[in-house]
Amino acid sequence: MDSLISVEEDLRIEARRQLKAEVLDLLNVCEYTKADNLYSNECVEWWPVAEYQIAVSRAKKEQARKVAEEDARKIAVARRKIREQVQGLLDEANYREADHCYEASCADWWARIDYEAAKSEAQFMHHFINTFRNGSMADLDTIYNNRAEFVEFSTDDFITLKLPKVRSHLTAIGMRLDEEQERANARPESRVLIKARAGSGKTRTLCARAALAIRDERLTPNQVMILAFNKAAAVEVKHRIQKTSGIPDYQNARTFHSLAYQLVKPKRKLLFDTGGHPSAREQSRFVQRMMQRILNPAFKEAMVEFFRKELEQIENIGRDLPPKEYLQFRRALELVTLRGERVKSNGEKFIADFLFEHGIEYRYERAWEWKSDFLDGATYKPDFSIVANGHDYILEHWAIDPENRNADLPEHWDISTEQYRKQILDKRAFWESKGKPLLETHAGLALDGRKTFESRIRSVLQRAGIRCQRLPKDEIIGRVFEKDFAISRMAELFMQFIQRAKKRGWSADVIACRIAEKPDKEPRARMFHQLALRAYREYEDMLDEHQAMDFDDLLVQAAEEVEARGSSASIHLGQGRMQPLGNLRWILLDEFQDFSELYFRMLGAILRANPSIRLVAVGDDWQAINAFAGAELRFYERFGEYFPNAETVGVTTNYRSNRSVVTAGNQLMNGRGTPAKVSRLAQGHIETKYLGDVWIEFRPGDQFREKRESDYLYLLPRSDGKNPSEFALRQAQALKQCTQIILGSPDQKTILLARTGKVYGIELADFRARLIKILSTLRKVKPESLEKCINTMTAHSSKGQEAHRVIILDVTWRQFPKIHPDNLLFELFGVTPHAVLEEERRLFYVAMTRAEHCLYMLTDKGTESPFLNPIKNKSMMDADLNKCGLNKSPSLGSFGAKIRTRIETSGALTETASTPRTKDMSPWVLVRANVSPCLRDLVSALQESGAPAPDTEYYLPGEDDLFSELAWPEASPPVAILTEEQMVNSERWVSRGWKIPSPDLPIETIVAGIKYYALSRN
C-alpha cells in the first residue's frame, strides 16, 4: 500500500512540473493571457500567486531587455554605416562633405576628439601617399616624425612601406643590400646607431646611406660627411662611393683629425702629423725625449722602487667578478720583475728581484723536460734555474707549504691540492735522479711581507752555498736601465696615462685633484700616479716650449672653434673649395665603438651649430679593443643618452666567414649581445692545434739523422751540441705546424696573428720571414712570390683585415687573455678587472673573425686559453648553428596595410619593389641585382652550370683600388671577373695570385674555368 501511494505522488509532482514549465514557456514568448488562463485553471491551487507574479515580472523584464537590445543593435548598425560613410569620405580626402555629414548625423554620439583623430589619420595617409609618389625619402621621414600624436603608425610599418623607395634608389645606383641593411638605411630618426657585427657589410651600409641621401635629396655630394678613425678607412669609403655608387666627385670622407685640422687651421705646429692622422711612432719618440728630460737620479730611483713594488692587494683584486671570470683573471694575471720578466705571483717576483739585486744569475721557467710523465706529457719548467759556483741549482716556489697537511691551493688553480702534492713529490724525485740540488720556498713564507721573505730566501740560498751580497743601489739602478726596457716600459705607461687623460679632457691639475680626492687603495698605483703626473706636466711644458700641439689639443680647439663660429665654420675640400658646417645635411660615423669624450665634444658642437644635420653611426661593441687609447664604450652603450631621440638598429649577418667561424664567434661572445647570423652554407674549418703534438727531431744518433736533417729547416743544431732552448724548440714547432697548415692549400691568403709584436721569443716580422723562407724552400719558389700571400700582425692591428685562412699563434692563458698588472694602474680612468677581461675577450673575437674559411689556433696542452673552451664545446656550437637563421620581416598593422593597399591601387608601387624579400632566396638573386648589365649573361650561365655563387663588389684586402664585381676568393687559385674598365688593373690582380679571365673569351669557356678552380679547390 505504501509503495502504491509513493508512485501516485511522484506522478502528481511530475505533472505539476510539466504544467509549470508550460506556463513559463508561454511567458517567455510573451503569451501572457494564455499563461494566465493556464495558471488559473490548472496551477493556482499549488503554485502560490506571489511566486507566479514574480515569474511574470521577470519574463516582462527580459522581454523589455531584448527589445532594447535589438533597438540598440539597429542604432549601432545605422551608426556604423554612417561612420563608414564618413570614413570613406575622409579616405577620399572629401573633408568638407565628411565634416557636414559628421555634424548632421554623428556629432551627438561620435566624440569630436575621435573624429578629429580619424580625420588627422586620413590627412596623414593622403600626405604620405602623395609624398611617396612625388617626394623624397627625406620628405617621408619628415612627415612621419611630425605626425600627430594619435596617428597609430609604428616605425616598423613606416620602414616596411618606405623600403620600395629605398630599393628603387639602390637599383638606380647599382647597389643591393640585405633587408637588415635596407631597414637600417630606412630609419626615419635624425640620430641612428647601427650595431653591425663583424663581416656584416657595415662599410657597404654606410656607403649606401651616403649615396641614398645624395641622390634622394639631390644634395651636392659633399653635403654628406663621413668620419672615420684612420686614413685608410676614410680613403676606402671615399673610393667606394665614387666608384660603386657612381658619385665620382665625392670628397668629404675624412678622419676626425683631418676634420679638426680643417676647422682650426692651427698656428701652432702639429706634432706627430703624418698627413691627417697621428703617428704613434712620432708620438712615442716625443715621449722618449720627454723621458730623458725627467730621468734625473731621483726620478730613476723612484721608478726602480715602482718596478720593485708588489701588488699588496693581489688577493682582493677582481673579487667583484663572477667566480668563473675571477678564475680566468687570476690565472692570466702577471707581475713584472726588475729584469722585465713576467711571473705569476708576488712570491716569484720577490725571488726574481732578490736574485737580480744580488747579482745571482738565473733563468725563469727554463724547460728541463719536454714531455714529462708527471705533468701528463707537458713540458716541465721549474720556477728558477740558478747558476752559481759552477753548478746548477733549481728553486721551486710552491703554492702551498708541502709540510702543512691542512694547506689548500688558491681557488684559481685548475688542479686539486692532492694532485699538486703528488707533483711536488714527483719533481723532488726528478731532481734527485738528475743529481741537481732542489731549493724550496712556498707561498706561506711570503705572508709576513717582503722583507721577512727576503731574509728567508737568503737563508735558503746560503745553506746551499750560494753567496748573497746585495749590489750597491747605483749599480742596481744601472742594471735596471741598461737595456732600455725600463725606459720603454715607463714611456708606454706614461703615454697611455696622458692619452687617457687628454681624451677625457682632463688637465694635469684636474688629474692632481682627482688623485687627491680619491687616492687608489693600491700603494703601487699611488706611486705610479705621482710619476705619471710629473710626466704629464713635463709633456705639456714641452709642447709649450715647441709652440706645438698634439691631436687631442687639436680636437679641443676644433670644438671651441665651432662653438665660437657656429654654422659658418668651414671645412676645406681641396682646390679652394669650402664647405660651411651650415650646409652639411648628414654626418656618418664609422667604428663608433672607438668614440671618446673629445670626439663627442667636437661632434656635439657641430650638431648644436647645425641641428638639422642627420647623424648615423655604425659600430660593433664586440670589436671595441681600443680602451688603452682612450676609447670609451659608454657612448655606444648609452647612445640615446648622448644623442636624444635616437634609435638603434642591428645589421648582424656575417658575409665574410663560413658557418663554423661565425658560430664560434657567437659562442665566445655568448650573453653579450645580439649574435651574428650566418649567410654562407659552407661549414668552413676550425681547429685547435697543440704544439706538443709536433715533433722536432734533435736527438743525436745515426738512427735519427734523416729526420733530424729534415727538421733543420725549422731548428738548426746548436754549435755546442746541447739540446735546444725552450724558445728555439717552440719556434720550431710553431713554424712546422704553420708550414703543414699552409701547404694544405698553399695559394690561399694567410694571416698569422699574435697577441703582441713578439711570439715564441722572436719578433713577428722575423717569424714571418723564417716561415716564408721555409715554404719557398719546400715549394721550390722564390720567397718574393709568397710575400703577398702570407702576412703577420698583432690581433689589434688585424682590425678590418680578412683572409681565406687565419692562424692565431700562442693561444695560451698568458696571451689570451693577457692580464698585465699595469692595467690596474688606470682605475682612475674607469679600468676595472672586468673591463680588462672583457676587452681581452673582444680582442680574441676580432682575431677569430678575420677568417673567411679556415681558422687555426695554436696552443699548448695544460695552458690553453680559456677562450677556447666555448669554441671546443661541439654541442653548444651545433645548437648555435640551429639558432642562426635570419629573422622574418615584420607584418604590417591595420593602418599600414591600408596605406599599402592605396599605394598599390594608385600604381605607385611596382610589383618588383613591393615584393617582400624572402630570407631563403637564392644567392644568385643578390648576385644578379649587384652586377653591371654587361655581366648578366655570364651570371645566368654560371647559375645554370651549377657554379658556386661569387662574392659581389669585392675589394682585394689592403688595396683600395683593386675592385671586382664578381670574385671567388675561396677558389684555388682565387678567380675574379673584371669589367672592361677594371681590366687596367688585371696584371696587379695576377701578381697577387689571382686568375683573371679575358673578357674576349667565350662565356662557356669562362664558366668552365671558374667551375674548375672553384669546385676543385683543396
855: Cβ–Cβ under 8 A, 6 or more apart, which residues?
A: 660, 661, 664, 684, 685, 686, 687, 805, 806, 808, 848
C-alpha to C-alpha distance for 542 and 536, rounded to whole angstroms? 10
CA proximity to 660, closest of 885, 495, 855: 855
The DSSP 8-state label assigned to residue 999 in this structure reads T
The DSSP line for 17-86 is: HHHHHHHHHHHHTT-HHHHHHHIIIIITTTS-HHHHHHHHHHHHHHHHHHHHHHHHHHHHHHHHHHHHHH
Binding residue per annotation — 728?
A: no
Report the alpha-carbon distance of residue 535 to residue 487 in Å, rounded.
12
Question: Annotation-wise, does 502 bind a ligand?
Answer: no
Q: Which helix (H) or strand (E) holds 951?
A: strand 951-955
Place of cell 635570419: 886
| Sole residue written with cell 676606402 | 236
Helix (H, G, I), strand (E, B), or coil: what is residue 686?
Answer: strand
Query: Is the CB of residue 345 less than 8 Å from the CB of residue 443?
Result: yes
Q: Report yes or no: 846 and 798 within 8 Å, Cβ to Cβ.
A: yes
Q: How many CB atoms lie within 10 A of CB 64?
A: 10
Question: Does residue 201 have a known ligand-binding role?
Answer: yes
The answer to whether the annotation marks 945 as part of a ligand binding site is no
Q: What length does the chain have?
A: 1018
Q: Which residues pair with 791 in a beta bridge?
A: 751
**Do the annotations mark residue 199 as ligand-binding?**
yes
Angstrom distance (rounded) from CA 327 to CA 346? 17
Distance, in Å, from the CA atom of 241 to the CA atom of 698, rounded to the nearest integer, reads: 57
**Pick from 655, 698, 663: nearest CA to 680:** 655
Q: Transcribe 129-196 into DSSP letters.
A: HHHHHHS-HHHHHHHHHT--TT----HHHHHHHHHHHHHHHHHHTT----HHHHHHHT---SEEEEEE
Hey, is 850 helix, strand or coil? coil
Residues sharing a CB contact under 8 Å with residue 785, sequence separation 6 or more, in sequence order: 776
Amino acid letter for position 304: V
Extract the C-alpha cell encoding 348. Answer: 716569484
C-alpha 519 chain-centroid distance: 34
Query: At residue 732, what are phi and psi to the nearest 5 degrees?
Result: -65, -45
| Residue 467 counted as an annotated binding residue | no
Q: How big is the CA angle at 792 (ends 790 and 796), to the nearest 5 degrees? A: 140
Residue type, 702: D
Residue 193 phi, psi dihedral angles, 5° rounding: -110, 120
Is the Cβ–Cβ distance between 881 and 875 less than 8 Å? no
CB 1012 within 8 A of CB 971: no
- H-assigned helices in 761-824: 764-779
Q: Read off the DSSP letter of residue 756.
A: S
User: 653-654 and 677-678 as β-strands: parallel, antiparallel, unpaired?
Assistant: parallel
SS3 (DSSP) at 246:
coil
Spell out the long-range contacts of 922-930 with Cβ–Cβ below 8 A and sequence spacing 24 or more.
922/949, 923/949, 924/949, 926/176, 926/178, 926/952, 927/952, 927/966, 929/171, 929/176, 930/174, 930/175, 930/176, 930/965
Helix (H, G, I), strand (E, B) or coil at 245: coil
Each residue of 662-683: b (16+ CB within 10 Å) or e?
Answer: bbbbbbbbeeebebbbbbbeee
C-alpha cell of 730? 717552440
Q: How far apart are CA 573 and CA 577, in angstroms?
A: 5
Q: How far apart are CA 20 and CA 619, in angstroms?
A: 82
Query: Residues annotated as binding site for ATP?
Result: 196-203
Query: Residues annotated as binding site?
Result: 196-203
